Amino acid sequence: MTTQVEAKGPVGMAMMAGVAGLVISLGIVFSNLMSSGHASFNTGSNGVTWGLPVVNYVFFVLTSTGLTFVASLAMVFGFKEFYPIAKRCVWLAVVTLIAGFASLALEIGHPFRMLWAIPLSFQYLSPLNWMGVFYLAYLVLLLLKFQKVNANDWDSSGSRTLGIASFVAVVIAHGTLGGVFGAMIMRPMWYGPLVPIYFLLTAAVSGAAFAVLITYLTYGSAGNMPEKVRNLMAGSMSKVFAAVLAVVILAVVSRTVIGLWTNADGMQVWDHVVASPWYWIEIVLMVAAFLMLVNGSSPMLPALMVIVSLFIGRYEFIISGQLVPLFKGSWVPGLIQYTPSLTEWMTTLVAFSIALAGWAVGEKMLNLAAAPEGKNS
């Protein structure tokens, strides 16, 4: 049997904050969508097509991807010391995936039509079609896996198969998401066969950061953690986190250098990217987090810094990829201007609130600290 570990962290407060955030943000989003539709977004045919809600979507579904990677360390690859956070990571993968989907649904013109039009038409050429297929399969597999784990079935062959299947599904799913951007040769800032790999790396670091931060939130402090969790956080988790972060820093820097160097039309947006203070905040946060991790400090603050940095990075990737105007409008601008509207920011709050409240509900009701017999403290 597993023991229910008393969560001493601010779980109740997180739940209240999440629910309050959800009520406020959904209230604002729905009332604005009812009254002015998507005109309450600052996106436009002559401007940025995919705005902040898509940034939220990519941020959260890749976070979900990364959380599944972390859970898979124990459940697929047999690194048993990760068991004490595995169940929590599976649950977090579910709620962050839902958070991402919710933000996307608020962005799409006909979200309900989507439910029949995509499966019935099945355009096999479209990365978006495959993204739908695999993220849906992933969600179903995750839920089934969670159900098994929740019934304390960690090691039966069915449970193991589900773990492996959801890992495989999400590797493919995030690859199709990479294809949505990486296949767009008309938008050189996005284009490239390695975009799925870039997403894989950044997803992993995103998952690691969330796993760390939420573990700290659950227990309140390292002192409150069961010994195995504490050792994991200070040991292997910090190391994995630091190692993946290092590779991500390299990937971001190399994208930037190549972006600045190349003369291809469309890549001039990189001058704009590095001229923004946000880019430098992104870099400084990541590098500082890495240095803190290798110096052995608590991974909690680095996790928070990396989450902020990654959100900036997602924004930069998705928005900047659209700033070079194609052949639109009657007077061609140098670069397109875009600032998200209040309604768009509220979709961000919707997504974060779903993730926060969803986690807290799980923490209170689903015994997320459970681990297989003899493998937990």
Instruction: Report how far residue 175's alpha carbon sits from residue 141's, in angstroms, rounded to the nearest whole number.
Output: 17
Q: Does position 175 bind other proteins by CB under 8 A?
A: no
Residue 183 Cβ, how far from other proteins at the closest point, in Å? 8
Q: Least distance in Å: CB of 182 to other proteins?
A: 12
DSSP string, 188-223: TTT--TTHHHHHHHHHHHHHHHHHHHHHHHHHSSGG
- Residue 271 or 373: the one with the smaller Cβ distance to other proteins is 271
Structure tokens belonging to residue 156: 């039966």
Q: Is 10 in the site for other proteins (CB under 8 A)?
A: no
Q: Does 34 bind other proteins (CB under 8 A)?
A: no
| 44 is an interface residue for other proteins by CB under 8 A | yes
Query: Which residue number, 126 or 152, has a Cβ lying nearer to other proteins?
Result: 126
Q: Is 322 near other proteins (CB under 8 A)?
A: yes
Query: For residue 362, how many other CB atoms are within 10 A of its CB?
Result: 21
CA gap 336, 299 in Å, rounded: 38
Can you tell me which of 263, 277, 365, 374 binds other proteins, judged by CB under 8 A?
Answer: 263
Q: How far is the CB of 140 from other proteins (least distance, A)?
A: 19
Least separation, in Å, of the C-beta of 167 and other proteins? 25
Residue closer to other proteins (CB basis): 180 or 233: 180
Nearest CA to 176 out of 136, 208, 216 is that of 136
Question: At closest approach, how far in Å is the CB of 184 from other proteins?
Answer: 6
Output the DSSP codes for 52-85. HHHHHHHHHHHHHHHHHHHHHHHHTT--GGGHHH
Contact between 239 and other proteins per CB under 8 A: no
CA dist 305 and 180 (Å) reads 28
- Residues 356 and 18: beta-carbon distance below 8 Å: yes
Q: Which of 150, 148, 153 is nearest to 166 (CA)?
A: 148
Which range binds other proteins by CB under 8 A, 2-10, 134-142, 183-191, 355-363?
183-191
In this chain, which of 13, 20, 185, 253 binds other proteins, going by CB under 8 A?
185
Residues 363, 11: contact at Cβ < 8 Å? yes
Binding residue for other proteins, selected from 80, 160, 187, 272, defined by CB under 8 A: 187
Q: Name the strand (E) or helix (H) holding 275.
A: helix 269-275
Q: Which residues ranging from 106 to 165 are in contact with other proteins (CB under 8 A)?
A: 108-111, 113-114, 117-118, 121-123, 125-129, 132
The region of 40-48, 95-103, 154-162, 280-288 touching other proteins under the rule CB under 8 A is: 40-48
Q: Is 275 in the site for other proteins (CB under 8 A)?
A: no
User: For residues 99 and 354, what is the distance between their CA atoms, to the nearest angstrom?
Assistant: 5
Question: How many residues bind to other proteins according to rule CB under 8 A?
Answer: 48
CA distances from 343 to 57, 73, 227, 276, 310 (A): 15, 38, 44, 23, 22
Rounded CA separation 322/141 (Å): 34
CB of 53 or CB of 362, closer to other proteins: 53
Query: Closest approach of Cβ 263 to other proteins, in Å?
Result: 6
The minimum distance between CB 120 and other proteins, in angstroms, equals 8
DSSP 8-state symbol, 7: P
Segment near other proteins (CB under 8 A); pick from 148-156, 178-186, 197-205, 273-281? 178-186
The answer to whether residue 23 forms part of the interface with other proteins (CB under 8 A) is: no
Cβ-based nearer residue to other proteins, 40 or 72? 40
Burial class (CB in 10 A: 0-12, 13-18, 19+), 156: exposed
Binding site for other proteins (CB under 8 A): 37-39, 41-46, 49-50, 108-111, 113-114, 117-118, 121-123, 125-129, 132, 180, 184-187, 263-268, 322, 325-332
